[in-house]
Amino acid sequence: MTTDFVGTGFDRIGERLYNTVITHVPYAPVRRAWLRHFGATVGNRSFIAVHAVVLAPRRLVIGDHVRVGRHTLLDARGGIFADHDVTIGADVRIVSLPLGSAAHNRSQCRGPIFIGKNARIAERARLFAGVSIGPGLTVDTDAVVTDDLLAPAVDTRVTTAAPAPVASAAG
């Protein structure tokens, strides 16, 4: 058994069935109930779109009125905590594993990802291990976030241009 999976063999089967079968079911309450059954905390009136992939649902905490777009990856092996009223766009990757040279020792480099209330993560954005997105902030399309974004300097948007450079609080 690898250290990349969190939970029991039963959890592993549930995760794989979700990601290969249940995520394609066009009825959101079925997807939400499946994730809750396998340990995810999914708030009231939260919506996870079809084709979204969830790893380690036991470490996924989603507040009320959260929207997760199609083809989004929620890699919760290090923990993902999304507060209420968060919007996560399509094709977003939220990965609780490190980037670059630190990736060789994944078991020591995981960190939870925190997304504050009313935050917006736009399409194709990437969030990596240990980052926090402050309340009300918007991460723009194609942004790559590797550092905490807690308070905006002037604007509440983190914008980038293709190819996606790294967005950080330091500027």
Please report, for the chain, the start and end positions of each structural domain, with discontinuous segments joined by +. Answer: 9-100+108-160
pLDDT tens profile 108-158 = 556 899 999 999 999 999 999 999 999 999 999 999 998 999 876 555 555
pLDDT tens profile 41-53 = 999 999 999 999 9
| Global pTM value | 0.80
Which helix (H) or strand (E) covers residue 167, if one does? strand 166-167
CATH superfamily of 9-100+108-160: Hexapeptide repeat proteins (2.160.10.10)
Beta strands of 69-137 (E only): which ranges? Answer: 73-75, 80-82, 87-88, 93-95, 113-115, 120-121, 126-128, 132-133
Please choose, from the candidates 42, 107, 51, 52, the residue with its C-alpha nearest in 3D space to the C-alpha of residue 80: 42
φ, ψ for residue 67, nearest 5 deg? -120, 125
Please report the pLDDT score of residue 150 as a whole number: 86
Q: Quickly tell me which residue has 């914008």 as its tokens.
A: 159
In whole angstroms, give the CA distance from residue 101 to residue 147. Answer: 16
